[in-house]
Amino acid sequence: MRKLSQERAPIYEALERFKKMRVVPFDVPGHKRGRGNPELTALLGENCVQMDVNSMKPLDNLCHPISVIRDAEVLAAEAFHAAHAFLMVGGTTSAVQSMILSVVKRGEKIILPRNVHRSVMGALVLCGAIPIYVNPACDEKLGIPLGMSVSDVKKAIEKHPDAKAVLVNNPTYYGICSDLRSIVKLAHEHNMLCLADEAHGTHFYFGENLPVSAMDAGADMAAVSMHKSGGSLTQSSLLLAGPAMTEGHIRQIINLTQTTSGSYLLLSSLDISRRNLALRGKESFARVVDLAEYARAEINAIGGYYAYSKELINGDSIFDFDVTKLSVNTLNIGLAGIEVYDLLRDEYDIQIEFGDLGNILAYISIGDRIREIERLVSALYEVRRRFSKSKSDLMSHEYIDPQVAVSPQDAFYADKESLPIRETEGRVCSEFVMCYPPGIPILAPGERITKEILDYIEYAKEKGCSMTGPENPDIERLNVLKGV
CA angle 186, 183, 108 (to 5 degrees): 75
Q: How many Å separate Cα 408 from the centre of its chain?
A: 20
Q: What is the DSSP letter of 215?
A: T
CA angle 217, 172, 62 (to 5 degrees): 70
Position 396 scores a pLDDT of: 59
| Length of the chain in terms of residues written | 484
Position 398 scores a pLDDT of: 58
Question: Which helix (H) or strand (E) covers residue 238, if one does?
Answer: strand 237-241
Enter the pTM of the model.
0.94
Q: Give Cβ neighbours of residue 46 (< 8 Å, ≥ 6 apart).
A: 34
CB 117 within 8 A of CB 197: yes
Position 390 scores a pLDDT of: 87
CB 288 within 8 A of CB 365: yes
Phi, then psi, of 370 in degrees rounded to 5: -60, -30
pLDDT digits (tens, 9 = 90+) for 244-271: 999 999 999 999 999 999 999 999 999 9
pLDDT digits (tens, 9 = 90+) for 56-86: 999 999 999 999 999 999 999 999 999 999 9
Which domains does the chain show, CATH number per domain?
408-481 (3.90.105.10)
Position 450 scores a pLDDT of: 95
- Residue 402's nearest CA partner among 115, 111, 100, 110 is 115
Q: What mean pLDDT is reported for the chain? A: 94
Angle between helices 247-257 and 91-101 (to 10 degrees): 130
pLDDT along the chain (484 residues), means of 10: 88 94 88 92 93 92 97 98 98 97 98 92 96 89 91 97 97 96 98 97 96 98 96 97 98 96 96 98 97 98 98 96 97 94 97 93 96 98 96 66 91 96 96 81 92 90 85 92 86
